[in-house]
Amino acid sequence: MIQLDPVSLQNYAIAGVALIGAFLAALWAALVVWTFRDMRARSRDFFAQLLAAIVVLVLNIPGFIVYLILRPRETVAEGYARSLEEEALLQSIEERPFCPGCNRLTRPEWLVCPHCQTLLRKTCTQCKQPLELNWNICPLCSAPAPGREARAAIDGG
C-alpha cells in the first residue's frame, strides 16, 4: 500500500488547486473575449461593446448572465438581411400595377382597365407599344408620345 506523507499530499493539493484556478481564469478571460466579439457582431457602438466586456470582466459569471439577458436579439448582419428582405417585399408590392379607378390588379400590357374602363396607358403612334401616361416620348422608338404635340402647341402658342 502506498503511503502519502503530508508534504506530498499538500503539493498535490496545491497543484490541483492551481490547475483549477488556471482553468477558471482561462474561462473568465474567454467569457470576456467572447462577450466583446458577440457584442461587436450585434452593435456598431464601440461604447456598448466595451461596456458589455467590462460587465463580464468585473462580475464574471453573473455579469455574463446579465449580458445574455440584455444583449440585442439579432446581429448587425441579420438586421441588414432582414431590412433587405423587407425592402424587396415592399418593392414587389409597389411594382404590382393597380388600376387607379377601381384599385384592382392590372397587367402591364393593358391599355384600359377591363373592370372600370379607366385609361391605364397610351399607345405609341409609331411602334404601337404601350406607354405610361406620364411619358413624353416612347423609350423604344423615340417618337413623341400621343398628346405631346397638342400640349406643346398649347404651352408655346
In this structure, what C-alpha cell is assigned to residue 59?
462580475
pTM of the predicted protein model:
0.55
DSSP string, 43-103: -S-HHHHHHHHHHHHHHSHHHHHHHHHHS-SS-HHHHHHHHHHHHHHHHHHHHS-B-TTT-
pLDDT tens, residue by residue, 10-65: 999 999 999 999 999 999 999 999 999 999 999 999 999 999 999 999 999 999 99
pLDDT tens, residue by residue, 62-111: 999 999 999 999 999 999 999 999 998 887 776 678 888 898 888 878 88
